Structure 1
Amino acid sequence: MAAAHTPPPAQRLHPAVLVVLALAALMTLAVVVTLWHLRRDTLAIETRGLQTLASASADELERGLQGVLLALQATRDDLREARLQPQPASEEAAAQLHRRATLIPLLRTLWVVDRSGRLLAASTPAAVPAIEAFHPAAGDDEADAARVSEPFADLASHETSVAVALRFVGPDGAFGGWVVAQLPAGGLLGAFPAAEPAPDTRLAIYRRDGLRLAGEAAPADGRERLAARRRIEALSFELVMTRDVDAVLARWRELARIAGATSSGVLLIVAALLWRMLRAERSRRLVQQQLKERGEHARRLEHKLARSQKLDALGTLAGGVAHDFNNILAAVAGFGDMARQAAAEGSQQARHLDRVLEAAERGKAVVDRILTFSRGGLRPATVFAVQPVVEQVLGLLAASAGERLQIERDMAEQPPLLVRGDATGLFEAVANLCTNAMQAMPDGGVLRVSVRPLRFDAEHWTSHGRLDAGECVAIEVADTGRGIAPEIMERLFEPFFTTRGQAGTGLGLAVVHGVVAEFGGAVDVRSRPDEGSTFCLLLPRVTGVTVEAPPPGVAVAGAKPLPPGRGQRVLVVDDEPALVALAEEWIAGMGYEPVGFSDARLALAELQADPGRFDLLLTDEVMPGLAGTALAQQARRLRGDLPVLLTSGYGGPDLLRRAAAAGVSQVLAKPLGALELQQAIERALQGAAVPSA
C-alpha cells in the first residue's frame, strides 16, 4: 500500500517581508511629505516676490501721478490768479502749458477747456477727449476731485492714452472749465515691461469703477493664479499683478515626476525581490520536507544551510532597496541643503528644511547599517592584527562596566593574529557583541573575551555559516546572562528583529553577520536559557604578510579648505536626472564646468567625439545599458590620462576590484556630500594616489 503524500507546510508571510513593505511605505510617505513642503515653500516665495514687484510698480506709478496732479493744480491756480489767460489760438498760453508739460515725465499734453468743452489752450495740437466720458461724472463728486477718462486713441502718436481732469474757477470765482492732462496708457506701467518679468506675469491698472486703463489682465480661463493688489491713492487707481500657478510650479512638477518615477522603480524592485524571496522560501520548505526522514546530522546541515540562504536572500533584498533609497536620499539631502542655504534664518521654511535634512541623515545612517548587513558597503580591505582592535573595544567598555560586571580577557599576544578586511567593521562587530552581552547581565556577571588561533582540516559548519578548511582566528565573546531561547536563535541575525521592543533597532547582530561575511568567515552561537551565551567569530587567518593598516581610532588631521577650480570641465554621468542636476550645481559652485548626462551611452559618444574636451569623469556604477566601470574602461581607452571618479551606494570588494581594473581613481560611497566630492575632484585632478572608500 503506497504511503500517503504529506503536503508541504502552509506558507506564511515572513515578518521580514512585512518590514520591507513598511519601509517602502515609509519611503513613499517621506517623498510625498517632502514634495508637499517644497510646493508650499515655492508658492510662498513666488507670492512674496510678486508682492514686492507690485509694491515697487505701485510706488513708481504713485510718484508719476503725483507729478501730474501737481501740474494740474499749478495750472488751475494760474487760471484763478489770472497768471494764465487762455484764449483760442493764444501762443503765449500754449507756450506756458508746453513748458509745464515737459517738466513731468508721465505728462504728454495739457489742455484748458471751458465749461462747454471748447478748447481754450493746449501744450501741443491734439484733440481733447469729451469731458462727458470722464469718471466720476460732473456733479457725482466733490468739485476738486480729479476725474479720469476712458482709454482713447491719440491720433497724433497712434498710442492709447488716458486723460485726467480738474475743475478750475476764473478770477471772478465762477466755474470756468477744466484743466485736462493727457497720459500715455503705457506710461502707467512704469518700468514693468523693461524689468523682463516671467512670461506669465500680468500687470493691469484699473479705474475706481473697475475699468481697465492699461496693461494686460489675466485671461478668464479658470486657471489658478497668484495675485498681488495695490491701491494708488493719488487717483484711486488699483494695480493688479498676477502669475500663473502652473508656470510657477513647473520645476516643482519636474522634480515630483522624477521622485515619483524613482519611487515607482524602487517599489517594483522591492516587489520583484520579495517574489524571488518567497519562491526561495517555498523551495526551501519543499527541500526540508524531502529531507525530513534523513539522519540527524543531515538535518542539522540542512537547517544551517537554510539559515545561511535566508540571510543571503535578506541581504540581497536589503542591499537592492538600500541602493535605490540611497539615490532618493542623495537628491533629497542635496537639494534640501541648497534650499536651506537659500532660506532666511529663523523662518518657517528654514525650520521645515532642517527637519527634512535631519530625516535624511537618519535615513543615511540606517542605509549604512543595512549595506553592512548585505555586504554591499564600500569598505576598504587591509591586513591588520586582531588583538589591538579587541583591546580597544575592551578599553572603551571598561569605563561603563560598573562594579558588578567583571571583564575577563584571554589574548594570544604573540605572534599577532592577522586577518584581511575592514578594521573599523570588526571593531563595530566586537563592540556590538560585548554591548549585547553586558545588556544580558543587568544584575552583574562575567564577560569573557578571548582571541586565539584555530585550524580546521575539513569544511566546518557553524550555527550560522560555513568555513573552509584552513587556519582561522577565533574571537569569542561569552556572558553569564539569561541565555537565548531556541525560537529566538532561529532569527538572531535577521535585520530589524529585536527582543528589546522600541529600545532596539534590530540591526546590531545583523551588522555583525554582515561584517563577518565580508571577511569570508562565519559565526557560531552557543546558548541555553539561564546559562549564558557564547558568540564566536571565525575569520580566515592571513599569514606570510605584514600589517597594512593601523587599528581603528587613529586620529586624522583636519581637512584644509580647498582652492576653487579653474574652470576644468567635468563630465557627470548618472541615470538619475535629479542627481545629475544636483552634481552640476555643486560642481559649478566649486569653480569647475560640469557637463551632465543621464544616459551613459550618450556620454560615451560625447567622449568619442572629442576625448580631450573633458578633464575628469564622474560616473555612477549601476546604470542601464552601460555600467560605470565599463564606461570608465572605454573612456580610459580613448584617453589614458583621464581621471575617473566612480560613485555607488552598493558595492563591496568585487566593485573595488572592477574599479581598479578599469583605471578608476577613487570609488565614492553614496550619498555624497559636497565637501567630500570637492576633495575627491581636487585630488584626482592633481594626480594624487587616492585610496578607495
Structure 2
Amino acid sequence: GARCLGVLVGGVAAWQLAASQKRERFLQSFGTQAATALESALQERANARRQVASVAEEYREASRRVLHEVNNPLSIIKNYLSVLDSKLERQEPVTGEMSVLNEEIDRVGQLIGTLADIKPVETGPRAFDAVKVAEDVVRLFRAGQFVPGSVQITTALHDDARLVEGDADTLKQILVNLIKNAVEALAGSGGGRIEIANRGHVHRERRLFLELSVSDTGPGLAPEVMANLFTPVKSTKDGAHRGIGLSIVHGLVKKLNGHIACRSGRTGTVFEILLPAWSGASAAPALPARALGSV
C-alpha cells in the first residue's frame, strides 16, 4: 500500500558485496529516511505551488473587481466632461460639474489603492447622512446624461431617519452599482421606473437599522440568476443585474455591517439594504425588519 517515490541505486566493487549484504538493515533504514525526506520536500513544493496559485487568483479577482468599479467613476467623468463642454459653450457656470469631476477622480485613486491594499487610517465609527448620499447619487445620474428618456428615476426619501454608521463613499459605490444595473435593465426592456426609497428604522438581531431600497419595474430576474445572485459570474448582455457588480455590492454592504436581499418577479426587482443606524441618533419609532433572507 505504500507509495513508491523512486528507486535508490548504488554500486560497489565485487570484493565489497559480502560486507554490503551484512549491512542490509542499515541500507534499508537509509532508504526509508531518504524517501521520507523526499516526500516531505515534494509536499512542501506542492503546498508552495498551491499558495502561489491561490495568491495569484486573489490578485486576479481583485483586479477584476477594481477594473469593474473604476469603470463607474470613469463613465461619470466621461459624461460630465460632455456636460461641461455644453455648458462652457453656453457660458454657463460649471462649479457643480467641476466638483463632481474632482470627487470622481479621487474615487478612482481610492479604488486603485485597494488593489495595492492601501488602507486608510482607521478613525473609528463615523456617522453619515444616507439620505444625502442617495440624493447626490440620483442627482449624479440625472445630470450626467446616464438615464435615457424611457427611464424615470424617482425618490421617496424621508427626513425622519437618515444617519447611519460607516463610510459614505461605500454607500455611494453600492447605490451607483444598483442604479446603473437598473438603468441598463430598463433601457433594454423598453423603459420603466426606478425608485430609491428610505423606509425608516427597523429592528433586526437586537440592533437598529436604516432600510434603503432600490427598485425597478423591469421584467424581473430568472430563477437561475436569483440562485447565484451575489456570486461573481460573467455578465451577459441580456442578463440584467448580473455579473461581478452584485458580488461587489454584497461585499460592500457586509463591510458596512449591513444586510442585503433581493425580491424579484414579473413586475420588477427590489434590492433591500439594512445599514446600522448611528447609535447617537434619536430613537425614532422602528418596525421589526421583514425577512430579508440569509444574505
What is the TM-score with the length of structure 1 in the denominator? 0.24
Q: Which has the higher helix share?
A: 2
> SS of the counterpart of 1:440?
helix
Deviation at 1:454, TM superposition (A): 2.9
Is the 1:322–1:367 Cα contact (8 Å) retained in structure 2? no
- Whole-Å Cα distance in 2 between the matches of residues 370 and 499 of structure 1? 29
- Whole-Å Cα distance in 2 between the matches of residues 270 and 367 of structure 1? 22
Q: Deviations over 1:635-678 (max 9, x none)?
A: xxxxxxxxxxxxxxxxxxxxxxxxxxxxxxxxxxxxxxxxxxxx
Is the 2:62–2:115 Cα contact (8 Å) retained in structure 1? no
- Whole-Å Cα distance in 1 between the matches of residues 216 and 241 of structure 2? 20
Match of 2:247 among 505, 510, 516: 510
Task: Classify 1:497/1:388 alpha carbon distance in 2 versus 1 (closer, same or farther; 3 Å).
Answer: same
Aligned twin of 2:196: 449
- Whole-Å Cα distance in 2 between the matches of residues 454 and 471 of structure 1? 7
Aligned twin of 1:411: 157
Aligned twin of 1:44: none
- Whole-Å Cα distance in 2 between the matches of residues 513 and 445 of structure 1? 25
> SS of the counterpart of 2:127?
strand
Aligned twin of 2:50: 268
Spell out the pairing of 1:85-484 with structure 2 (5 A cutoff): 268-269=50-51, 318=58, 322=62, 368=114, 378=120, 382-399=126-143, 400=145, 401-414=147-160, 416-442=161-187, 443-456=190-203, 468-484=205-221
> SS of the counterpart of 1:482?
coil
Instruction: Extract unaligned runs of 5+ from structure 1.
Output: 1-263, 275-316, 327-361, 460-467, 547-693
> SS of the counterpart of 2:209?
strand
> Are residues 1:526 and 2:260 paired?
no
Deviation at 1:407, TM superposition (A): 1.7
Over aligned residue pairs, what C-alpha RMSD do you find?
A: 4.0
Deviation at 1:320, TM superposition (A): 10
Larger of the two Rg values belongs to structure: 1
Aligned twin of 1:683: none
- Whole-Å Cα distance in 2 between the matches of residues 412 and 368 of structure 1? 33
Deviation at 1:507, TM superposition (A): 2.7
Is the 1:370–1:507 Cα contact (8 Å) retained in structure 2? no
Aligned twin of 1:539: 275
Is the 1:322–1:370 Cα contact (8 Å) retained in structure 2? no
Amino acid paired to 1:524: A
Is the 2:181–2:240 Cα contact (8 Å) retained in structure 1? no
Deviation at 1:470, TM superposition (A): 2.3
Deviation at 1:406, TM superposition (A): 1.7
Q: Deviations over 1:157-191 (max 9, x none)?
A: xxxxxxxxxxxxxxxxxxxxxxxxxxxxxxxxxxx
Amino acid paired to 2:155: R
Identical columns (%): 29
Deviation at 1:423, TM superposition (A): 0.8
> SS of the counterpart of 1:543?
coil
> SS of the counterpart of 1:498?
coil
Q: How many residues align?
A: 187
Aligned twin of 2:226: 489
Is the 2:263–2:270 Cα contact (8 Å) retained in structure 1? yes
Deviation at 1:544, TM superposition (A): 1.7
- Whole-Å Cα distance in 2 between the matches of residues 524 and 453 of structure 1? 17
Task: Classify 1:436/1:509 alpha carbon distance in 2 versus 1 (closer, same or farther; 3 Å).
Answer: same
Deviation at 1:435, TM superposition (A): 0.8
Is the 1:455–1:469 Cα contact (8 Å) retained in structure 2? no
- Whole-Å Cα distance in 2 between the matches of residues 501 and 446 of structure 1? 19
Amino acid paired to 1:269: Q
Is the 2:229–2:242 Cα contact (8 Å) retained in structure 1? no
Is the 2:260–2:271 Cα contact (8 Å) retained in structure 1? yes
Amino acid paired to 1:437: A
- Whole-Å Cα distance in 1 between the matches of residues 113 and 212 of structure 2? 27
Is the 1:447–1:478 Cα contact (8 Å) retained in structure 2? yes
Is the 2:154–2:195 Cα contact (8 Å) retained in structure 1? yes
> SS of the counterpart of 2:198?
strand
Task: Classify 1:369/1:524 alpha carbon distance in 2 versus 1 (closer, same or farther; 3 Å).
Answer: farther
Aligned twin of 2:23: none
- Whole-Å Cα distance in 2 between the matches of residues 365 and 501 of structure 1? 28
- Whole-Å Cα distance in 2 between the matches of residues 370 and 501 of structure 1? 33
Is the 1:498–1:506 Cα contact (8 Å) retained in structure 2? yes
- Whole-Å Cα distance in 1 between the matches of residues 211 and 240 of structure 2? 30
- Whole-Å Cα distance in 2 between the matches of residues 485 and 377 of structure 1? 38
**Which has the bigger relative contact order, CA under 8 A and spacing at least 6?**
2
Task: Classify 1:514/1:322 alpha carbon distance in 2 versus 1 (closer, same or farther; 3 Å).
Answer: same
Is the 1:453–1:471 Cα contact (8 Å) retained in structure 2? no
> SS of the counterpart of 1:441?
helix
Task: Classify 1:481/1:451 alpha carbon distance in 2 versus 1 (closer, same or farther; 3 Å).
Answer: same
> SS of the counterpart of 2:261?
strand
Task: Classify 1:267/1:506 alpha carbon distance in 2 versus 1 (closer, same or farther; 3 Å).
Answer: farther
Is the 1:384–1:420 Cα contact (8 Å) retained in structure 2? yes
Q: Deviations over 1:457-507 (max 9, x none)?
A: xx5xxxxxxxx2321111100001121111111221122442338999933
